[in-house]
Amino acid sequence: MYNKLVLATFSLAAVVAAAPARITARFGDTYVYYTGDGSTGNGWPSEAAWGSWDDLWNANVPLMQQSCGWNGWGANDSADEINDIESAIQQLAGSTGVDSRFILAIMMQESKGCVRVITTGNGVTNPGLMQSHDGSGTCVNTDPCPASEITQMITDGTAGTSSGAGLQQLLAQAESALSDTSSRAFYSAARLYNSGSVDYSNLDDGFSSTPCYASDVANRLTGWTLAASSCTA
């Protein structure tokens, strides 16, 4: 979320270096470095190119099963915790209208799906699975993580908090600014989620946050999990 410099700059490449050999590539595991305004005219993927929910979920579960341990954040997610993450995402997709695949992609970008992810911040506190804007949901040093807390973490990031917008509000903001409800609005909302600001003509402008963030999210929506990133920003 806004102004996260510690976790947001932590790249998946660092995780891959520690990943055991038994984790193998799944659906669509490649990385394309996208630049420009997020439009299909600039080469960004359309929604039709995104994986199905089942494809993306099944591709990311193996990461969720080990990401806490890889990063030193505590016990790895249990099967029950992973099931609770899926239930929470589907619940919030239904109540907010935000595509469940987009929620999943942002969650994986923010926390790699580790329910015990650390809280980060640089002026704003960013806790939980979605590193939300001053959210209340967190399971730092908590094992097991209750289903209610997992739902709160997804709620904070998707529906927003009393202190800051979530994906629902940021997607609406991008759609209004662009007069566009296509995939371009989702990538612009991803930039807003990461940095709080957006140059709609250049989604690689991180405004002191993560330059590759929107490109990373676009790749996650088409199946990227473990492949090396080619983003050099």
Note the pLDDT of residue 9.
34
Q: Determine phi and psi for 217, rounding to 5 degrees.
A: -65, -40
Q: Say which residues have a Cβ less than 8 Å from residue 138's Cβ, sequence separation at least 6.
A: 119, 127, 128, 149, 153
Is the whole-model pTM more than 0.75? yes
Q: Mean pLDDT, the chain, as a whole number? A: 91
What tokens appear for 202 in the block?
């250049």
Residue spans per domain, the chain: 37-221
Note the pLDDT of residue 122.
78
pLDDT tens digits along 144-179 = 999 999 999 999 999 999 999 999 999 999 999 999
Longest Cα–Cα distance in the chain:
46
CA distance 215 to 33: 6
37-221: CATH topology is Lysozyme (1.10.530)
pLDDT surpasses 50 at 16: no
With tokens 């590759």, the residue in question is 212
User: Secondary structure of the chain: what % helix, strand, coil (to 5)?
Assistant: 45, 0, 50
What tokens appear for 84 in the block?
């609770």
